[in-house]
Amino acid sequence: MARARRKPLQPAVALQVLDAPDSTLLDALDHLLNKGVMVDGDVTLGVAGVDLIYLRLSSILAAADRVLPPYRPMPSRAPRRRTRKRRA
């Protein structure tokens, strides 16, 4: 009796989405800086149920080349020659 051939098993969706288990903290930080992250938070300081200080904090963390425009060096100008006016 001939056996039916099975299809090779495909990895689970979770394994396709998640990174390889050998990725390091440095790999995660590199990925984070390449994509960029925004952190937003609120801090309220109060005494006896009375809010005294309210802070709203926002921060963007990204690689500088993602945020800043590309560097273009200024064209150098040739120095002008000074000409003396001749006295008549």
Q: What is the pLDDT of residue 77?
A: 72
Q: What is the pLDDT of residue 35?
A: 83
Per the prediction, the chain carries an average pLDDT of 78
Decide if pLDDT at 17 tops 90.
no
Average pLDDT over residues 23-30: 82
Work out the pLDDT band at 18, boundaries 50, 70, 90. Answer: low
Take residue 71 and report the two structure tokens written for it: 């560097």
Distance (Å, whole) CA 75 – CA 32: 35
**How far is CA 83 from each of CA 14, 67, 80, 86, rounded to the nearest angstrom?**
76, 46, 9, 9
Convert the pLDDT of each residue in 44-53 to its tens digit.
Answer: 999 998 889 9
pTM for the whole structure: 0.38
Take residue 38 and report the two structure tokens written for it: 């925004």
